[in-house]
Structure formats: C-alpha cells, structure tokens
Amino acid sequence: MDKQELMQRLKDEIIKQLKLEGTKPESIGDHDPLFVEGLGLDSIDALELIVLLQQEYKIKLNNAEQGQEVFRSVSTMADFILEHQAKQV
C-alpha cells in the first residue's frame, strides 16, 4: 500500500473510530493538524488513535511524547506506519 492509499484508509478509520459524524474523508487535509485546530481532537481522541494503531496496524506506541509527533496529521501517521512496516520486513 502506498502512502496515498494509506492516508485515504486512515481518514476512513479515524472517522469511524472517533464517530466523527458529518465529517467526510475528503474534508480532512493530509497535512491538517488533528488536534486543537483542524479536526479539533482532544486527549480522549488521542487514546482512541492509540487503540486504532494497535488494533489495525499492530503498532504499540512506546511513550506519550512520541504520540505528539505521530498524531500531528494524517500524513505523519501514515509516515509512522510505513516506517514501522518497513522495519518489520
């Protein structure tokens, strides 16, 4: 899966996991900030994203500070997942 496909999938999964009713995948920009601005997610949503990574991509975040970087945008999430998958090969 290339980055573009992964980002599309992530947008669908974020909407489903966070129950963002009324939000369409195309309205989430690849580089839009997920927290505060942009989607306006909060700390509970951050926990949901951690669960999403673990459940769908078998990736466990080792520390909370890592989350700030990883969950900055859909693009950074995709980079993190692809990097992790490359290491697994």
Partner 1 sequence: MSRIIKMGVAAAMEALKDAELPMPDAIVTGTAYGCLADTDAFLTRMVEFNEELLSPTSFIQSTHNTVGAQIALMLHCHHYNNTYVHRGSSFEAAVLDAQSLIEEGEAENILVGSVDEIIENSHTIISRFGIYKESESNKLLNSGTNGTMAGEGATFFVFSKNKETGSIAKLEDIKTYYKTNRKAENIIHNFLMENNVRVDNIDLIILGNNGDAKTDEHYNTVAQHLFGGKRLVGYKNYCGEYPTSSAFALWMAARMIEHGKKINDETSPKKILIYNNYKLKYPSLYLLSAC
Q: Which residues bind partner 1 (CB under 8 A)?
A: 17-19, 21, 44-45, 47-48, 51, 54-55
State in angstroms the smallest separation of the CB of 17 from partner 1. 8
| DSSP code for 26 | G
> What is the identity of the amino acid at 86?
A
The smaller minimum CB distance to partner 1, of residues 1 and 47, is found at 47
Give me the least distance between CB of 18 and partner 1, in Å please.
7
Do residues 77 and 71 touch, judged by C-beta distance below 8 A? yes
Q: Is 36 helix (H, G, I), strand (E, B) or coil?
A: coil
Instruction: Indicate the residue among 7 and 59 with the shorter CB distance to partner 1.
Output: 59
- Tell me how crowded residue 43 is: count the other CB atoms within 10 A of its CB: 7
Do 76 and 9 contact (CB within 8 A), yes or no?
no
Nearest residue (CB) to partner 1, 17 versus 76 = 17
CB of 67 to partner 1, least distance (A): 14
